[in-house]
Amino acid sequence: MAATGWGAPVLAQEIDAVEAPRPEIIVTGARQQSAAGTKTDTPAIETPQPITVVTDDQFLAQGALSIADTLNYVAGVQANAYGPDGRVDSSFIRGSSPLQFRDGMRDIFSFYASIRADPYNFSQVEVVRGPASVLFGQSSIGGLINLVSKAPAFETRGEIAVRYGSFDRKEMLADVTGGITDTVAARMVARVRDADTQVDFVRDDRVMLSPSLLWQPTDDTRLTLIGLYQEDEGGSVSQFLPLVGTLLPNPNGRLANSTFIGKPGWDRYDGRLLQGTALFEHRFSDAVSFSAKARSIDSNLTYLTHYPNSYSNPTNPYLVANQRIIGNYADGSIARLDIFSTDNNLKFNFNTGGNIEHVVLAGVDYSWNRVRKNGGFALETIDIYDIDYAALSNFGGGIPTAAFPGFLGGSSEDNTQKQLGFYLQDQIRLWDRVSIVLGGRRDTVRSSSPGNPTVKVSATSLRAGIIGELVRGVSPFFSYTESFDPIAGTASNGNPFTPKRGRQFEGGVKFHPDEATLVTLTAYHIKETGRPIDDPSTPDPFDQFQAGALTSKGFEIEASRRLPGNWELLANYSYTRARIDGTNRQLENVPKHNASVWGTKSFALDDETNLRIGAGVRHSSANLSFGAAFPDGLRTPSYTLVDALVELARGPWSLAVNATNLFDKSFYSACLARGDCFIGAERNVFGTVSYRF
């Protein structure tokens, strides 16, 4: 499953019924298109915003095993912000957690109520940097991630692969597509995985089946239906280990990366996901076309976990002088998530003069989601250096209740949210050299729960941008964008969270001297109000309050280049300065500097055999976390990691070996002043044998 080509920091095409074969991806630079930034197919050089597309060829070559991994070589992104995690894909874009979309519709509505998306299901991952509420509604100030599903093609082709690797990873993968009739095509994408992780007793098992059908009766009409069944049996790789014994010294030594502080057989993160998607397009004429999308999601999750009480006293959380005995929380929840979403728009193409072209998009989208959770909470004690697993309760195989010793309390929630949005956008092309994007949106969001009044919030979001090719290959751009992000839950003072609002000014330049090269330089200034941050005034480490304002500013450089001799290079650098206004403190776990370089070289050994080698380096600078116990800041050290690829292909067969963190550097992804540390990903090596037809 390693790649035979790689993408570039440009826009790529959305779901396409006549998707090209996979053997080679040519970097087409500024002329590639995507709907991620405008909901219309627009070349990168005509879009006044930095958008990165990571193709499946690229992220598989780089050894990605999760959606978060696919972002390892994207400018402005801190991937796996809290280390490897079998529960969620954590990342930051420009200092803020992005929202995740699938085929242009929001995919995640609540943490710990569903399982992670499988990267093998997608042809590409699109990263929109900066606010995008005008087209997508609720959105983070940092940006969003859009996953583009693999779609059926009429050409018969496919691949079957087996994989084995570190942590006893065993996988079978299949991706087969082809025409059934002249107007109907089908595709099946599947994965079966049996694997351990770098933490003892934590599994990473998965069964995923995604069938899809395409009906294309004419060149002007097509309907794509995508189904998904996914079942995960896993757990929390994030063990929330205490600072004292990880980053800070403990007389008993450093806790092993593999330390598991739960109950074997009880701790789990097991989920089942059913999903159905319909994508319809019809072109009435060259001037008018219609698009409609709809999705239904049904998710069930059982989440049972332990984590040590590192929070009562972060500098010494141990209960006795030998610094071994610590409180151990047992936390369990059973969740049900139901989602329905739809997005519909009309597109009009017309001219208002010989040299003025318009693409006007008018649309309405709607989403409904309901999250139901029941939970329980208990406290036990352990010797964290010599855990007696048999002594820990299994709570009858379910969530903690009052029937068991150490019970602290239970919880129940039933939250429903509805969003209705209307949007209008005009893309204006002047003299085939200058592009202007103007847009506006009106959203209304209603949130309700039993016994509480319905909360209704409305917002208007605006967007404006311009980009022009001043001279051949040089296109400066400037944009203004806004975001609107309602927040579920209540602050530490008991009041409901108010929506976060953000605005961004951004300017930059895109260099594209030829089709093999694209370099984007950009600088931005973001202001956000209403951001929740940890509340140090309460004993609960998870209490939050809404800060007055946050400012994030920085610059990014992203470059791709295809060189003679079958060389392909990708390089990125980003500087992020994100601070709560009125303080001189960088947001915790947001490094100021991130940089990466990835390159590949291909060799023809004979007429049928090709060798491909690749290597990459990723660097993240140190960052600080502040709290009552660390008023001057707790420093998480910087780290630099190396990844590698070797692939041998002969005819339809290929053998690839991927390695991430090749030199097995031990590092921390994040250590927080509240009292816990998150271990970074250890070396992971796996080999894949593939047969393609």
DSSP letters spanning 522-547: EEEEEEEE--EEE-TTSS-TT-EEE-
CB atoms within 10 A of CB 555: 18
- Reduced to 3 states (helix: H, G, I; strand: E, B; else coil), residue 358 is strand
With a cut of 50, say whether residue 611 has pLDDT above it: yes
pLDDT tens string 197-231: 999 999 999 999 999 999 999 999 999 999 999 99
pTM for the complete prediction? 0.92
29 vs 43: CA distance, rounded Å: 9
pLDDT score of 530? 83
pLDDT score of 537? 72
Structure tokens at 129: 């940097």
pLDDT score of 387? 98
With a cut of 60, say whether residue 43 has pLDDT above it: yes
Please, are residues 536 and 628 in contact by the beta-carbon 8 Å criterion? yes
pLDDT score of 14? 36
CB atoms within 10 A of CB 184: 14
Using alpha carbons, select from 204, 250, 254, 228 the residue that is nearest to residue 84: 204
Q: Which residue did the predictor score with more confidence, 151 or 1?
A: 151
Structure tokens at 579: 């601070």
Residue 1 lies in a domain: no
pLDDT score of 120? 98
Give the confidence band of 653 by pLDDT, cuts at 50, 70, 90: very high
* Least confident piece of the model among 120-124, 151-155, 581-585: 581-585
Residue 406 lies in a domain: yes
The H or E element containing residue 374 is strand 356-383
pLDDT score of 649? 97
139 vs 144: CA distance, rounded Å: 7
193 vs 171: CA distance, rounded Å: 4
Number of domains, the chain: 1
With a cut of 70, say whether residue 18 has pLDDT above it: no
pLDDT tens string 378-399: 999 999 999 999 999 999 999 9
Please, are residues 72 and 223 in contact by the beta-carbon 8 Å criterion? no
149 vs 357: CA distance, rounded Å: 31
pLDDT score of 57? 95
Give the confidence band of 453 by pLDDT, cuts at 50, 70, 90: confident
What b-and-e string marks burial along 219-241, b requiring 16 or more CB atoms within 10 Å of the CB? eeebbbbbebebbbbbbbbbbbb
Q: What average pLDDT does range 106-116 have in this prediction?
A: 88
With a cut of 90, say whether residue 39 has pLDDT above it: no
pLDDT tens string 76-104: 999 999 999 999 999 999 999 999 999 99
With a cut of 80, say whether residue 542 has pLDDT above it: no
Give the CA radius of gyration of the chain.
Answer: 25
Q: What average pLDDT does range 652-662 have in this prediction?
A: 98
37 vs 503: CA distance, rounded Å: 16
- Reduced to 3 states (helix: H, G, I; strand: E, B; else coil), residue 239 is coil
Question: pLDDT exceeding 70 applies to what percent of the chain?
Answer: 94
pLDDT score of 20? 34
pLDDT tens string 300-356: 999 999 999 999 999 999 999 999 999 999 999 999 999 999 999 999 999 998 889
pLDDT tens string 455-494: 898 999 999 999 999 899 999 999 999 998 887 667 777 7
pLDDT score of 486? 80
DSSP string, 142-155: SEEEEEEE----SS
Sign for the pseudo-dihedral over CA of 3, 9, 10, 13 = positive
pLDDT tens string 20-29: 333 333 333 4
pLDDT tens string 259-288: 999 999 999 999 999 999 999 999 999 999
Residues 6+ apart with CB under 8 A from 132: 37, 139, 143, 144, 481, 483
Residue 637 lies in a domain: yes
pLDDT tens string 45-79: 788 999 999 999 999 999 999 999 999 999 999 99
Residue 388 lies in a domain: yes
327 vs 541: CA distance, rounded Å: 15
222 vs 254: CA distance, rounded Å: 59
Please, are residues 192 and 206 in contact by the beta-carbon 8 Å criterion? yes
Range of the structural domain that residue 261 is part of: 157-692
Residues 6+ apart with CB under 8 A from 631: none
Q: Residue 303 is which amino acid?
A: Y
522 vs 613: CA distance, rounded Å: 31
Q: What average pLDDT does range 632-648 have in this prediction?
A: 97
pLDDT tens string 160-192: 999 999 999 999 999 999 999 999 999 999 999
Give the confidence band of 12 by pLDDT, cuts at 50, 70, 90: very low
21 vs 23: CA distance, rounded Å: 6
Q: Which residue did the predictor score with more confidence, 36 or 357?
A: 357
Q: What average pLDDT does range 600-610 have in this prediction?
A: 94
pLDDT score of 75? 96
The H or E element containing residue 246 is none
pLDDT tens string 122-133: 999 999 999 888
Mean pLDDT (the chain) is 91
Q: List the beta bridge partners of residue 649.
A: 610, 654
606 vs 611: CA distance, rounded Å: 10
Backbone phi and psi for residue 403, each to the nearest 5 degrees, phi listed first: -75, -10
Q: The CATH number of the domain where 606 resides is what?
A: 2.40.170.20
Q: Residue 78 is which amino acid?
A: Q
Backbone phi and psi for residue 642, each to the nearest 5 degrees, phi listed first: -120, 135
Q: What average pLDDT does range 402-418 have in this prediction?
A: 94
Q: What average pLDDT does range 233-257 have in this prediction?
A: 97
